[in-house]
Amino acid sequence: GMFHDLSSGKTTRPVMFPGRLSPLRTGLSSSPDGSLLVVSHDVGLLTVWKTADLISNPAPEPIQALGGILLSFSSSGFSSDGSRLLGCSPGPEAIKIWETVSYHDLLTLTVEDATPRGARLSPDGHYLAARDGGRVFLWRAASWDEIQQAENLEKQRLATP
């Protein structure tokens, strides 16, 4: 791939993804602040890169490689605050969500009798939508605040003898 400086209109050097990852890109997504780039690969892998490293480093390395599915990731995306990363696959593990500090796997959703090709989180984080041809699947999720409150209660419960 190539990076283009939109302010100057100039093209920077080509970006080469190292090793076996190079020819296997199936999609790209950027974090809301533009600091991260996620590359979807057709080997059941998402790689997370610092955008600055891709621009300035001649031999960049991903900061994270995420998997856990049988088929390829067809799309990926971030929550509007950048705290969650979503990967969508047309396989049995249709949608995976990770948090973006330690990249801990938070959730895997399955969709029976469907092959989702794209998924997105709503800006408020309350809904997740996935598409399969002419069908749309919609999940309502607890807000990030509700999830945090539940996690805090669980921590308190575990800390109490």
DSSP letters spanning 125-144: SSEEEEEETTEEEEEE---H
One pLDDT digit (tens) per residue for the chain, 161 residues: 556 666 676 666 666 555 555 445 567 889 999 999 888 877 778 889 998 888 777 778 889 988 877 677 778 889 999 999 998 887 767 788 899 999 998 888 887 777 777 888 888 878 888 888 788 888 887 667 877 888 888 888 888 87
CA distance linking residue 136 with residue 112, whole number of Å? 13
pLDDT number for residue 3:
61
Q: H helices within the chain, ranges in order?
A: 51-56, 144-159
